[in-house]
Amino acid sequence: MVTTIHGFSSQKIVPVYKKYNDTGYYVSISDSDRSPELDYVATVYNGINTDEFTFCPEPDDYLLFFGRIHPEKGTYESIQIAKLSGRRLIISGLIQDQEYFESKIKPFVNDDDIIYVGNSGPKERDKLMGEAYALLHPISFEEPFGLSVAESMVCGTPVIAFSKGAMPELILDSKTGFLVSTLNDAAEAVNHISSIDRKYCRDYAVSKFSRQKMIEGYLAVYQDVLKIHNRKSDR
């Protein structure tokens, strides 16, 4: 049986997966999200419907935070990056941590430079991402993938992210965005966003993170699994 592991809610689950190392076939959604205790047959990145995202060659001047409002996703850090770079920030996402929102986010929200628009549906998401100057993704955890990062790049919008988890696998540094480690580095990266070719950004993301690419990845997995199974049967 092929099992795709979409991250680990707790390390306590690893022994359960490990029990079936010899009989199952594990797929990871990024190389960074692999457990050294498990055997994997492949990494297959999440695939998105690229038809839902419109390429925008001429962006607006605002920065975008898109994701759940939670400390590990870096909403507060995005506000600081926007202030350091002197640009507007639009925040869109579900408030997952109300206390965090009330104490760290809401005091900065206004109608001028820090704007919270709540949750956004597919059409609003497409517009926000496509017209953004850059997406900010200053995460503080080892994120196993990052759908908004791939979605943003499919729109042609570069991403400035903290270099954690799968970010080095998703973003081509200096070509589809910038991998940074501090708020000051992120603010400085904003000054270099104009050097990113937005068409290249989209083409790269489509080639790596489309549904078709994911389908091809899983077909290859099934072919490999059948070969392994046949070899075992011949013994």
Give 34-66 pLDDT, tens digit per residue: 999 999 999 999 999 999 999 999 999 999 999
Enumerate domains of the chain plus CATH numbers.
Answer: 2-47+210-234 (no CATH), 50-207 (3.40.50.2000)
pLDDT for the residue 72: 97
User: pLDDT tens digit string along 135-155?
Assistant: 999 999 999 999 999 999 999
Give the pair of three-digit tokens for residue 73: 């996703």
Cβ 33 vs Cβ 197: under 8 Å:
no
**Banded pLDDT at 233 (limits 50, 70, 90):** low
pLDDT digits 0-9 by tens, 149-200: 999 999 999 999 999 999 999 999 999 999 999 999 999 999 999 999 999 9
DSSP-derived 3-state class of residue 4: strand
**This prediction's pTM:** 0.94
Q: Does residue 166 contact residue 143 with C-beta atoms inside 8 Å?
A: yes
Nearest to 76 by CA among 63, 87, 65: 65
pLDDT at 234 over 70: no
Model confidence band, residue 11 (pLDDT cutoffs 50, 70, 90)? confident
Judge contact between 88 and 59, C-beta under 8 A. Answer: no
Angle at 19 between CA 3 and CA 227, to 5 degrees: 50
Q: How far apart are CA 210 and CA 147, in angstroms?
A: 11
Using CA atoms, how far apart are residues 11 and 177, in angstroms rounded to an integer? Answer: 32
